[in-house]
Amino acid sequence: MTTLVPDILSANILVVDDQQPNVELLEKILADAGYGHVTSTTNPLEVCALHRQNNYDLILLDLQMPEMDGFQVIEGLKTSATDAYLSVVVITAQPGHKLRALQAGAKDFISKPFDLVEVTTRIHNLLEVRLLYKKLENYNKDLQHMVAERTAELRESEARYRSLTELASDWYWEQDENDTFTKVSGPVLEMLGIQVPALVGDDGVAYSGGWNEVERDALRAAIAARQPFLDFVFTRVGTDGAQRSFRVSGEPMINSACRFIGYRGVGVELLNK
């Protein structure tokens, strides 16, 4: 996950300083560096409301201001921040204030008088971290949304399947992801061609099964492709020469992590009229 320079230069920045000349100097430095979304205020009392409205990617905050100093602004921002990552760079001429500002929650500091390289480098680096954080946050939200959607689909599928099994009277089966049968009832093993003892006819001669191989191959192909199938009809000729018809329905099983874990199905014998 990377952040491109155009993304950084499009970041939303607020400059806060009670001295208008300082504001104008920072605005010029940022404009010359290519930043196109910079606003400012000389009134620290406005900062929290402005941040709630605009959700700034970066706030350049002077510490020494009347009425409300930068430390008080940081505390106010903590309670009004729209996300967990508060991106504040403090501006100070007092070396002793730097550590205190970082402990209060600021992410970095810029010293007065301004050094052009220091200002642009610190701002660029912090914005890169901030925008990466936003991308990760958005990715997590998208992932949660996808999981919620898939969970809803699985629940709907389960409901449909429960209705399906209620209608099935002859057999039920489940396979794991390796096509190994884990639950079976009725003639399903023989139907799908799994290795089972050959049927023995009334005359004591082993009987191969009598399934229509074309139909059975089509059914196995659908299962191998992990495709659902509904009311698949196939036939079988018994040892007495009588033909019997069957109908089977099935679907792949997906767990909550959206991983294929096997296959399941139900079937009924169709009564000849």
DSSP symbol at 169: -
Same domain, 10 and 131: yes
Domain contains 199: yes
Instruction: Tell which residue, 77, 43, 71, 44, has the closest CA to residue 58.
Output: 77
Domain contains 161: no
Same domain, 102 and 195: no
Domain contains 249: yes
Domain contains 163: no
Residues 44-67 have pLDDT tens digits of 999 999 998 998 999 999 998 988
What is the dihedral sign for C-alpha 126, 130, 131, 133?
positive
Same domain, 137 and 182: no
Token digits of residue 33: 């560096």
From residue 48, alpha-carbon distances to 20, 59, 74, 107, 156 in Å are 19, 11, 9, 17, 45
Same domain, 16 and 87: yes
Domain contains 22: yes
- The boundaries of the domain holding residue 234 are 168-270
Same domain, 112 and 173: no
- Give SS3 for 270: strand
Find the CATH number of the domain harbouring 113: 3.40.50.2300
pLDDT along the chain (273 residues), means of 10: 74 93 92 93 93 91 90 87 77 84 86 87 90 82 81 73 57 81 70 44 48 82 85 81 83 85 83 62
